[in-house]
Structure 1
């Protein structure tokens, strides 16, 4: 196993293990208490001290399976006692701290572990490693990374007849392991020495670890019946300091309002421009139409329109009519849209010519934007602070998405915070790239409109990186927000595209972890464009924390500090703050929290809990995200404490896809788990039943789930594997087999050959056939972006992502390539053709 104790950058195998040590004194009386507990439990002093050290290691790592090493003398045989020589060996002590044991119970566990290890202490450590064959890493010691030892002496010093002796401290320049905790026991002194690897820890961190061991040891020896994980790591002063530094208070924000000069451009999409006066008139006209249709303050109003200027205007009009904005993506399956409308209690719906039929099927009173007449004097409802502003749906583990309700005061506060954090002014031109179904779109629209900037709306088509760069250049975009997955595709083409991004002054990313490696390439090409890494669940109103990156970082990119009046606490499973560097769950407080999950009071009470750190009546949202606080106060994301994942920037609960898969009429048992396929995080569906096929399962899921929740692969089983307790044995679920290309239909033309090579590169497949379907082979929208970009480079011909959706096989896409090339050639003069033929000679 790997003990994840590193508080700094990951160990580099090229680094020589530089080290140092710190030492603190502990109360001498603790030795007597440890001895008393050891006698009571039939253990030794070493076992008690080891239990305390492993307790702290478990708290520091967030793990319950703790392996440490300890040296043994290797003189267990009587005939070895008089021999001079070095017989020391190392044994591994692996202790299970799960189940929240009382300390005396943990001592019992440690006793059994130590006795079992000492029974086999003659087995050389190297032989153990050789038999277990762990995955080797030059930056880590195999099997354990921390050592615990006890050095005891019955005298105060070393004396020889006729000589005066004194201790001399030798320089300490190396570390054998990540951490070595050595308890020093002498008649007049009890101390803890911590040797540490300097590339992983600093002196303050090592000293903090030593104090935590001492504090835990003292607390648990005072009450051995207490649970080991309840012993406080922090002093009262340290706890107060962490609570005080969790965030700051900000003045209440004014209500959001659109603020721009009448004739300044407000919203732009595909050649259509609305100035602020026209935007005001259209929103006023639509608001009046909604009220005539029966919309009353507090009513949920669905907005189901194609992307464009109306997707912005409709949102503003809903608020002017006093309604609650509920975005409904017309590309979602009809069954899901119906459920969302019912869950949010949508009574009225805004549609357009392209979505009129979808809207009619939802059963709400529809208002078509094509029938709206501009009305600058239209209604301007003034909402109360605690009125609902919008409802956004997130993935739910029960098989149905959850409706998250956000109040106006929380939205107003975030708009003001984002406007300040991004430094927006009326001179900015901000690209809104996110789907309106996600709250990130609000962050890309509202702060800009509140300062008089111009919002540029991406149409429904997904742009390849080349198209994005062209639009940025043509529209002089200054600020844009992208998911890290899409941004990575853009970064890969910066050697060609960077000049077209010259107008940018700020890039914002969010929705998933930001990889560090592409940042080096980003700043090499665009050194003057900082990257703001944002983090935030929908329940904490879009972006809850942010970190600005101005140069390539070493290691994982932090998610930063809380924005606005939010407070970010890192807590243990008992809800107590953990020290800096120790992993814990991130809980968010402050006024910028959702009201809760509509119609789900029990789930709301489970996730939104009373705030024990703030004023009475305050709440905290339990994010389920595991983070650690860095020494400077910023947060670093580590992972999840449940099954929720981010896939291509989308928040996904595998249980939602599993519930839909289980509802297939031929399925008797189903499971959906997270796997890594072709280097990407993906969902894999497992199904047992009769008469099933992968295609029937995929069709069933596509009709009921958004694209990001449809499993990337399906595995058919006779029965789901179960443990002896009758639970799903996820470890026994087989890996999905790579999709088999159609046999005997290899590429036949140069165009098919190039297209097939590109597909193999993007999908990480050895070969594909000309009749293979890109999406059946594991393709998705982001991979389609990569294919479109490579096709543009290979053929010097414009390709869009939609081309792959319309021509999803190698044969059909290659035919489209040939058609476009012939069309381009037909438009060229003889001189241009001659020039193109000789350009590479």
Structure 2
């Protein structure tokens, strides 16, 4: 990748071209990146899994709420389904959508799609049908593999539907030969499609990120997994990390542990214990809900998707091997991981393990920035995704070829680079990377990356009378959380030029605005995932403008951040007469709700509802956990669906005996049985017939 002779020869002459601050900076950049070079791997993902199936057929591969599979059983099921997929023309660079609840059948469907030579994409059944249909139109899958539970909804999306459970083998005899593993005629290559994941797009349509096998298999192993690891499958199917969570587990020969959605929402600690989870990858928001003493089996914990706070470190760093993880949807494997021992380790994200990183001018990727200076992180290496699906313009903009400085630092050409959209700096001392923020309108909500422009696109359809609406992340003035609220800002003036420079006037909500905002909220809920729906709609006289007439986004955010959570949410509801708790259960829920949402108990009346107070699915998990500690049993669905806290209290009273269905785990009284079976499996059959 690098030629040090070219660097040393041309360093002085080309310094102006690449805009580095001095020759020493450039030499350090090149030296550090040479240490992080990654060779392309030419193996396919399913071949790595099949190796474990052959070598350790009796080892546990899947332990789920709905059943278990050994590696031998996984291979039989996936091969049998793959043969059927190949008959309907699934093959190289053909895509299979998988639409299922959390289940043992999801990894079976994934492996089957790969064995047939195709790629896969996971659909979250909880998303609106219109949104799912948009993804189908964008990526044109060959078919949808759906679970029975979601087959009707899948049939509304357009592509042909096959039901996973109906395609699988019946009860399998572990000790039998493997006559049902067909030899498929597909010819796979590491450059064929592995996966398509979807991320928010600024034009109002999601972007499909197409990743090949080499992008996943190339790079250093940052997981720390072994064959004895038991990995929690908890990330949403909306999250690109879910693909990595499934595949890294099976390619390392570990066991994938899959609780049900109900268990993940309402009692994840119990599921972790019953499954014997030793390795987990979760967001910091979820890490705050789980108490280490209630999940003692966890040995390794990766935090991903959000900024890590001191609370998570103080809670977990001394109990487990705690790591931060930086990843991009446009990369097949995580970019940077770092062991976290204390708050001081949050200063950097470490060094890349599957790519080479460079810092360029945020406005001009042809200008390389000096060490210590802020700029956009660009990545180079075989882990990069191939393209955006059916979007050549966005692909060319994001995946750039040979910026002006590439050859000057001694790179072989041609080279591809990914513009991450994230602002970093690089330490001149040790070459580690520090995250500084996100470029433009890219933000993260509850671990999900979204483009504010996509939210604004859909908002405009609900407020056609104004030419410009704004989506913004707002951190309320009275919030002690590092996470903000997604707010829609609606101006009353129709002209985009009416804004006064350096002035942002908020308007009080009236009945007409509240009615329009509620109607818009209802419509958005039909077409967008929940994390893209605003928490509140705020009316302003006009949008603030800079002296040059551009939207003054910083002033708008600063003005809105002066509002309390209660003031922000007041734009969504008419004032109510405060009604105090009348029972012990209501008083307990009032106290728990105040703790979860960081507001005073006296501000919470019994006619308020959890969502109206600023709650969401993540804070509902906290609500369930803290209520359980007070002796009350409620569910996440209760918190999100009940009309007010009195109704929620009635649910709690009626559900004191609620228990999450235990996860079935195969109990083997002989701890050496699996080792003995593996040993016997490898012996010639003539030697084992008499044993």
- Equivalent residue, structure 2, for 1:311: 106
CA distance in structure 2 between the partners assigned to 1:287 and 1:513 by the alignment: 40
1:293-331 deviation digits (Å, cap 9, x = unpaired): 343432221111111111111111111122221211111
CA distance in structure 1 between the partners assigned to 2:367 and 2:466 by the alignment: 43
CA shift at 1:506, angstroms? 1.1
Instruction: Verify the 8 A CA contact 1:272 1:309 in the aligned structure 2.
Output: yes
Instruction: Verify the 8 A CA contact 2:357 2:379 in the aligned structure 1.
Output: yes
Q: 1:667 to 1:563 in 2, by over 3 A?
A: farther
1:819-841 deviation digits (Å, cap 9, x = unpaired): 234899xxxxxxxxxxxxxxxxx
CA distance in structure 1 between the partners assigned to 2:232 and 2:26 by the alignment: 42
Instruction: Verify the 8 A CA contact 1:448 1:455 in the aligned structure 2.
Output: yes
- Equivalent residue, structure 2, for 1:682: 485
Instruction: Verify the 8 A CA contact 2:210 2:387 in the aligned structure 1.
Output: yes
Instruction: Verify the 8 A CA contact 1:684 1:714 in the aligned structure 2.
Output: yes
CA shift at 1:720, angstroms? 4.3
Q: Within 5 A, what are the aligned runs for 1:549-560?
A: 549=340, 551-554=341-344, 556-560=346-350
CA shift at 1:763, angstroms? 2.2
Question: What root-mean-square deviation, in Å, do the aligned CA atoms of Structure 1 and Structure 2 show?
Answer: 2.7
CA distance in structure 1 between the partners assigned to 2:104 and 2:314 by the alignment: 36
Residue 568 (structure 1) aligned with residue 357 (structure 2): yes
CA distance in structure 1 between the partners assigned to 2:185 and 2:536 by the alignment: 50
CA shift at 1:777, angstroms? 2.4
CA distance in structure 1 between the partners assigned to 2:368 and 2:526 by the alignment: 45
CA distance in structure 2 between the partners assigned to 1:232 and 1:806 by the alignment: 56
Q: Within 5 A, what are the aligned runs for 1:151-550?
A: 232-235=20-23, 237-246=24-33, 247-253=35-41, 254-256=43-45, 257-258=48-49, 259-260=52-53, 261-374=56-169, 375-377=180-182, 379=184, 381-413=186-218, 417=220, 420-461=221-262, 463=264, 467-490=267-290, 493-494=291-292, 498=293, 500-524=294-318, 526=319, 529-549=320-340
TM-score, normalised to structure 2, is 0.79
1:685-714 deviation digits (Å, cap 9, x = unpaired): 023578752211211211111111111111
- Equivalent residue, structure 2, for 1:624: 421
CA shift at 1:435, angstroms? 1.3
CA distance in structure 1 between the partners assigned to 2:280 and 2:643 by the alignment: 30
Residue 641 (structure 1) aligned with residue 439 (structure 2): yes
The secondary structure found in structure 1 opposite 2:149 is coil
CA distance in structure 1 between the partners assigned to 2:213 and 2:289 by the alignment: 36
CA distance in structure 2 between the partners assigned to 1:252 and 1:328 by the alignment: 29
Residue 610 (structure 1) aligned with residue 401 (structure 2): yes
Residue 816 (structure 1) aligned with residue 651 (structure 2): yes
CA shift at 1:270, angstroms? 1.0
Q: Within 5 A, what are the aligned runs for 1:132-151?
A: none
Residue 739 (structure 1) aligned with residue 563 (structure 2): no
Match 2:380 to one of 567, 585, 589: 589
Instruction: Verify the 8 A CA contact 1:281 1:378 in the aligned structure 2.
Output: no
| Unpaired runs of at least 5, structure 2 | 1-11, 170-179, 493-511, 660-691
Match 2:617 to one of 734, 758, 781: 781
CA shift at 1:747, angstroms? 2.1
The secondary structure found in structure 2 opposite 1:556 is helix
CA shift at 1:482, angstroms? 0.7
Q: 1:556 to 1:819 in 2, by over 3 A?
A: same
Instruction: Verify the 8 A CA contact 1:567 1:588 in the aligned structure 2.
Output: yes
Instruction: Verify the 8 A CA contact 2:333 2:383 in the aligned structure 1.
Output: no
CA shift at 1:806, angstroms? 4.3
The secondary structure found in structure 1 opposite 2:218 is helix
Match 1:599 to one of 390, 397, 402: 390
- Equivalent residue, structure 1, for 2:587: 753
- Equivalent residue, structure 1, for 2:669: none
CA distance in structure 1 between the partners assigned to 2:568 and 2:20 by the alignment: 50
Instruction: Verify the 8 A CA contact 2:116 2:184 in the aligned structure 1.
Output: yes
- Equivalent residue, structure 2, for 1:705: 528
Q: How many residues align?
A: 582
Q: 1:822 to 1:596 in 2, by over 3 A?
A: closer
CA distance in structure 2 between the partners assigned to 1:717 and 1:589 by the alignment: 44
Question: Which one scores higher on RCO, CA 8 angstroms, separation ≥ 6?
Answer: 2
| Unpaired runs of at least 5, structure 1 | 1-217, 220-225, 825-841
Instruction: Verify the 8 A CA contact 1:431 1:480 in the aligned structure 2.
Output: yes
CA shift at 1:389, angstroms? 1.1
Instruction: Verify the 8 A CA contact 2:359 2:378 in the aligned structure 1.
Output: yes
Instruction: Verify the 8 A CA contact 1:338 1:362 in the aligned structure 2.
Output: yes
Q: 1:771 to 1:577 in 2, by over 3 A?
A: same
CA distance in structure 1 between the partners assigned to 2:300 and 2:352 by the alignment: 20
